[in-house]
């Protein structure tokens, strides 16, 4: 098999249908509620119409939460509030319905799929359907070594592509995308800093579970060291993911690209999915047209990434937990926009004035 070239996605991904979007805008002008009175819900409905190629947008009937899981070796440096090798505990808690994303998904009737791309735990600790695609156990500490080999990075990207195909083939009509990782925000910060050309201190945040000042300084140092290793491979997205990403981030990047190929809309969660979105955008500039930013997490790297992606988050409630929870909170807004567009009646014609 020849090596995967992510730049090939540029020829495979088309924009959502512009003609359909214009038709949705024209229909919106005819509804009984004045244009603009529903704020961003109008924009959401028009975006969804273009993605679905239908006017009006149909209801989101088969959404799915897809969470990619992995442990990042950089967490051994004390950059996270969680210890390295404990991401499987998050996975188990989600499976048992004990994390925010699981509670919100249950309330919305949304099934949750977890994909183990690079957890560092015995496979017997989790169900087979979670661990069966694992690329490798954990990843390297990106400040001093590659996260993956290039071959492993390609396997991870292809894993994400395969998951996207499976979801599209099964009828999933919108994906809530998130991660279950320890150390993932550090790797994401490196990707964003490298792709934006900024320094470590500009992109380094406190993580989903807020870290103290000493841990933040350790995290800054790790991001700085990893940036030195990322800059020489900026010209090749696969090598970049291998050097400073990780199996979960590489898989998420593949998922985003293939979802855009399959015309399957995605709601991004926090800094990890935003960073993967930047890598995907670099490969295929039209791919972000198929995504929404669910929420602002407070991570500075996410704000930088969303600015580069020209995306405005739907929510800003100070939710920092990650794991797809912020994106799940945005799902009811998307569903509401679709229903309003489909079910609000058009204005009746004004009667002709008597002569």
Give the pLDDT of residue 322.
Answer: 84
Read off the pLDDT of each residue in 109-121 and give the average, rounded to a whole number: 97
Structure tokens at 134: 């694992």
**Measured between alpha carbons, how far is 241 from 188 in angstroms, rounded to an integer?**
10
May I ask the CATH architecture of the domain 63-333?
3-Layer(aba) Sandwich (3.40)
Average pLDDT, the chain: 93
The pTM for the full model equals 0.94
Number of neighbouring beta carbons within 10 Å of residue 218? 18
Say if residue 192's pLDDT is above 90. yes
At 212, the pLDDT band (50, 70, 90 cuts) reads confident
Secondary structure of residue 175 in the 3-state scheme: strand
- Residue 110, pLDDT > 60, answer yes
Tokens of 7: 């730049």
By the 10 Å C-beta count (0-12 exposed, 13-18 middle, 19+ buried), 1 is classed as exposed
Parse the chain into domains and list their residue ranges.
Answer: 63-333
Confidence band, pLDDT 50/70/90 cuts, at residue 352: low
pLDDT at 1: 57
Mean pLDDT of 151-172: 98
pLDDT at residue 351 is higher than 80: no
Greatest pairwise CA separation for the chain in angstroms: 85
Which residues are known catalytic residues? Answer: 323
In this predicted structure, the answer to whether residue 206 has a pLDDT above a threshold of 90 is no
Residue 73: exposed, middle, or buried by beta-carbon count in 10 A (0-12, 13-18, 19+)?
buried
| 187 in Cβ contact with 237 (< 8 Å) | no
């Amino acid at each position: 098999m020849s090596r995967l070239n992510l730049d090939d996605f540029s020829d495979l991904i088309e924009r959502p249908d512009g003609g359909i979007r214009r038709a949705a805008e024209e229909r919106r002008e005819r509804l009984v509620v004045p244009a603009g009175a529903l704020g961003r819900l109008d924009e959401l409905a028009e975006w969804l119409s273009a993605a679905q190629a239908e006017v009006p947008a149909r209801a989101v009937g088969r959404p799915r939460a897809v969470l990619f899981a992995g442990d990042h070796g950089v967490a051994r440096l004390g950059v996270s509030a969680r210890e390295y090798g404990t991401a499987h505990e998050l996975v188990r808690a989600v499976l048992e319905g004990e994390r925010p994303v699981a509670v919100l998904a249950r309330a919305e009737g949304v099934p949750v799929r977890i994909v183990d791309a690079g957890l560092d735990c015995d496979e017997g600790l989790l169900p087979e359907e979670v661990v069966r695609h694992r690329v490798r156990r954990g990843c390297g500490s990106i400040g001093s070594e590659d996260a993956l080999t290039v071959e492993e990075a390609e396997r991870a990207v292809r894993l994400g592509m395969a998951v996207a195909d499976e979801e599209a083939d099964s009828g999933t009509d919108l994906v809530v995308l998130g991660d279950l990782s320890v150390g993932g925000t550090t790797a994401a910060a490196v990707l964003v800093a490298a792709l934006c050309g900024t320094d470590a201190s500009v992109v380094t945040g406190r993580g989903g579970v807020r870290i103290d000042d000493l841990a933040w300084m350790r995290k800054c140092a790790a991001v700085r060291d990893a940036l030195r290793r990322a800059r020489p491979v900026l010209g090749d997205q696969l090598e970049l993911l291998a050097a400073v990403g990780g199996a979960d981030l590489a898989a998420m990047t593949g998922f985003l690209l293939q979802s855009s190929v399959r015309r399957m809309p995605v709601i991004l969660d926090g800094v990890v999915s935003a960073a993967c979105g930047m890598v995907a955008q670099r490969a295929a500039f039209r791919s972000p047209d198929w995504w929404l930013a669910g929420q602002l997490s407070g991570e500075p790297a996410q704000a930088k990434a969303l600015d580069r992606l020209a995306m405005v988050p739907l929510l800003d409630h100070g939710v920092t937990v990650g794991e797809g929870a912020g994106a799940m909170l945005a799902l009811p807004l998307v569903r509401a926009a679709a229903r309003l567009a489909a079910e609000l009646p058009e204005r009746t014609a004004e009667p002709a004035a008597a002569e």
